[in-house]
Every structure is written in C-alpha cells, then in structure tokens.
Amino acid sequence: MAIAATTGLDNTVERPGERAPLVLGNTTYHTITESVSSIAEQPPSKLWVLGFLVSASLASMFGLLIAYLIYNGVGVWGNRDPVFWGWPIVNFVFWVGIGHAGTLISAILFLFRQEWRTSINRAAEAMTIFAVVCAGTFPGIHVGRAWLAYWLAPYPSLNLWMWPQFRSPLLWDVFAVSTYGTVSLLFWYMGMVPDLATFRDRSKNKWRRMAYGILALGWCGSSRHWMRYEKAYALLAALAAPLVLSVHTIVSFDFAVSQVPGWHTTIFPPYFVAGAIFSGFAMVLTLMIPSRSIFKLEHLITVRHLENMCKIILATGSIVGLAYGTEFFIAWYGQVPAEQFAFINRAFGPYWWAYWTMITCNVISPQLFWFKRMRTDPVLIFIVTIFVNIGMWFERFVIVITSLSRDYLPSAWGYFSPTWVDWGMLIGSFGLFFTLFMLFCRFMPIINMAETKATLAHQLRHASHHVTEH
C-alpha cells in the first residue's frame, strides 16, 4: 500500500544525497483525496462562516461605494490637482502585483521542476485571479465615466469613428492585464479539471454531482487524456512564464514612459517585476499559513514549503532594496536637478513617513529571513508577510503620490489627502478578495490532489529504491 511514513520528520533539514519529502505523515493517495475533498464536503466551520460574513459585508460595501462613485463622479475620491492618480491607481498596481505570485509559482517553478510547488500552486493561482479581479476594478472605475469603459476595446465604434491609440502604455496595460487574467483563469481551471472530477465522483447528492460534473467536463482520467493534458499544462506554463514577467513590465511602462521625475526611469520594469513577486509571495503566505492550520493541511503544505517561499521573499526583497538604492544612485549620477529633487523629496519631503514605512517593511523586514528560525516558524513568517504587504502598498503610494504632488512647477504642488471613499474602497477591495478566496476554499479543491499524488508516487518510488539499494 502506498504510504509515506514520515510522521514527525523535519523536512527542512537537507540530507546530502536524499530528497527531502514534500508530503508528510502517514499519507496515502486516498488520505490526500480525503483531506482535500472533505474541506468542501463538510458543513462550513464557524470560523469560516464568521470570516465569510465579515469579508462579504466588506465586499458589499465596495459594491455600494462603486455605485456611489458612479452616481456622483470621481470627485468623491481624494484625486485633486495635481495628484490625479490617487489611491485607485495605487490599489491597482498593488493588486496586480499580488497577482503575480500565483502564475509564477505555477508556471516558472513548474518549468524549473520545483516539485514543492504542487501543494501550494492551486491556492496561489486562485489568489492570482482574485487579485486580478480587484486590480481590474480600479482602472475600470477610474476612467471617470465607468459605463464607457468599453471604449478601451478596439471595436468599430459608430459614435467615435476612431480606434484606441496603440502607442500608449495605458492601452498596453489593458491588453496585458486582460490577457493575464484570461490566461491565469485558463491555467487555474485546467489545473482543476481532474480534481473537480474527483469531487464529482465523491458527490453523494445528484445536483452536486451534476454541478461538479459539468465543471469537470467529463474528465475520466484516461492515459491519453493525461498525456495531452500534461502537454497542454507544460505549454501553458511556458506561455505564462514570459507573460507573468511582461505584465508588471507593462504596468511599469505606465509610469516609465511618462516624463514625470521619479517615474521616467529604465529600471522600472525589473524593479516592478521583482516587487510584484515579492508582494505576491508575501500574500500567498499570508493566506496559506492560516488556511493550512484551519483546514488541517500541515502534512501537505509543510514547513519546507513555507521556508522555500521565505527564501524567495528574501531574494526578491533584496532585489527591491537594491532597486531603491539604484534609483538614488542614478538620480545623483544623472545630475538632472528635477530627478534629484524628486528622490530627496521622497525620502525627506512631506511624505517621508510613507517612504520610511516602505523601507522598513520592504527592505529591512525580509532580511530577518536570513535566520532559519524566522523561516520555519509559521507565526513569525505570518507577521513578516503582513509587514511586506503593507510595505508594498506603500511602495506604490510613494511612487504615485510623491512624484505627482511635486511636479516641475512649484505653483502646481499639492498634498494628497484620501477621502473616506478612498479608505472604504481599499478596505472593500480586501473584502472582495477574501470573499472570493473563502468561496474558493469552500467549493473548490484548494490543493492540487492529482499532482500531489504524483509527487507522493515519486517519493514512494525513491523510498523503495533506497530500500533496495541498501
């Protein structure tokens, strides 16, 4: 019988010549099915209901605020001359950034054959999609007349008699974010099809069986299907990997292609991508650490998984820190007064508090992950990731607000203050995000069962080889 007897093993220790197990405990194929499916089959726990009620009410508040905004116009935000890109754009970039980890884990780690990704990729992909939903909302309502947002699409218009302007980074953004959303959705859904079939086959109730049956598209696990499926998965991963890098690159063009001091820099694309991965991984951990203990999945999402993600956070956090330093260096080295002023103003101007919050959270806090103790204690990791989330929001705040509020003309300077609607929408977008994520946890397979079983099969084969060799 297929059993991985690794109870009580510390899989964060490296033993030369041996692969650290990624599935712990007395785990069999069936227990994997059990522990993942039962989450969706049992009645929801009180904790879930409570969490869902809170986030759903925040999400409804978001909806109401959007209606309020559309009814009254964008004046209800704090966007005022000279800061016309206020919190909505800060939130947009923040959420798009969050949405990078999912596809990165699924695609790039898949291509690099990092098997530890299997038990976290599903939830990370879901998170990606929900983050992109939140992200897409903001530019949609930021266009002012939100009911005309479809003007962004290149369609033959009888009103305008013209086409979108394809040389504008803002239009590239439309294509990048929507392509990213679509491909991530395909990738996520395709990855779920075999697991949805598992849900279908376990359903006792006719309607449930029908619903999951339709979602599973009649998946039967035929080896021919698996072969094409795996090929399609690899192809999608290969396509999604450059896509993921392109998306935040293009988002950074929104800034870099303009001529505002502090924005007009060539370092933006790599710096934004590193920041996106950094924030995305932090958000994955923020979600996974509570989920794994609530849903009792510690044997599948092991400490080693957490540790690996911490290492990525450490690496990308350091890249981000380096980028902050480089910006200052180039401002000094480039000798452009406006640019120099922009950076001095960031650190010591009226928004110094935002800048130093950003530095503390993004540059200093991830450095704690040099210590193994920090990387292996879920509670400590959780705390650090919260800091990273805050820091990355502030990074976008610093970029958008400080540069805009100090334009070339001192007579046009101003100080940005958010309104209650700004606050409500930021909080509401978190509500939407968590609502979607909790629904996902409740109704969808939150761990890729098929792949985890394959990992287990691999691990078992290795184990038996070892036995025969000795």
Partner 1 sequence: MSDSNNQSTHGMMAEFDSVDSLLAAARRIRDAGYTKIDAYTPFAVHGIDDALGIKPTKLPWITLTGGVIGALTALAMQIWMNSINYPYIISGKPYISLPAFIPVAFELTILFASFGSFFGMLALNRLPRFSNPVFTNPRFDLATDDKFFLYVDAKDARYDGEGVARLLGDSGAASVDPVVEDETPTEVPKIFFTLAGVLAMVAIIPVLVVAMMRVTTSSQPRFHVFYDMDFSPAKDAQQVTTLFADGRVMRPDVPGTVIRSEDGFDIDFQTGVDMEALAAMDPARAEHLVRLVAQAPADEAAPADEAAGDQVADAQAAGGASEPVDNTPWLQDNPLEVDAELLATGQEKFNIYCAVCHGVSGRGTGLVHLRAQRIQSPTWVQPSSLHQDILYANNYADGKLFSVITNGIRKMPGYGAQISASDRWAIVAYVRALQLSQNAEESDVPAGQRAAVAQAE
Q: Which residues bind partner 1 (CB under 8 A)?
A: 1-2, 28-30, 33, 145, 147, 154, 161-169, 171-172, 175-176, 179, 182-183, 186-187, 190, 194, 197-198, 200-202, 213-214, 217-232, 235-236, 239-240, 242-243, 246, 250, 253, 449-451, 453-454, 457-458
For the bound state, the minimum distance from the C-beta of residue 250 to partner 1, rounded and expressed in Å, comes to 6
Q: Which is nearer to partner 1, 174 or 282 (CB)?
A: 174
For the bound state, the minimum distance from the C-beta of residue 332 to partner 1, rounded and expressed in Å, comes to 29
Q: Which is nearer to partner 1, 311 or 458 (CB)?
A: 458
- Phi, psi at 349, each rounded to 5°: -80, -160
For the bound state, the minimum distance from the C-beta of residue 360 to partner 1, rounded and expressed in Å, comes to 34
Q: Which is nearer to partner 1, 253 or 324 (CB)?
A: 253
Q: Which is nearer to partner 1, 188 or 394 (CB)?
A: 188
- Phi, psi at 70, each rounded to 5°: -65, -35
Q: Which is nearer to partner 1, 20 or 239 (CB)?
A: 239
- CA 231, 235, 238, 240 dihedral sign is negative
Residues 219 and 226: their CA atoms lie apart, in Å, by: 10
Residue of 241, 284, 236 lying closest to 99 (CA atoms) = 284
Is the separation of the CB atoms in 243 and 182 below 8 Å?
Answer: no
For the bound state, the minimum distance from the C-beta of residue 222 to partner 1, rounded and expressed in Å, comes to 5
Q: Which is nearer to partner 1, 200 or 304 (CB)?
A: 200
For the bound state, the minimum distance from the C-beta of residue 448 to partner 1, rounded and expressed in Å, comes to 9
**Amino acid at residue number 297:** L
Q: Which is nearer to partner 1, 105 or 177 (CB)?
A: 177
Is the separation of the CB atoms in 431 and 57 below 8 Å?
Answer: yes
- Enumerate the β-bridge partners of residue 27: 4
**Amino acid at residue number 75:** G
Place of tokens 């204690």: 377
Is the separation of the CB atoms in 50 and 444 below 8 Å?
Answer: no
For the bound state, the minimum distance from the C-beta of residue 129 to partner 1, rounded and expressed in Å, comes to 14
For the bound state, the minimum distance from the C-beta of residue 405 to partner 1, rounded and expressed in Å, comes to 26
Residue 373: C-alpha distances to residues 337, 380, 458 (Å): 45, 9, 29
Burial class (CB in 10 A: 0-12, 13-18, 19+), 454: middle
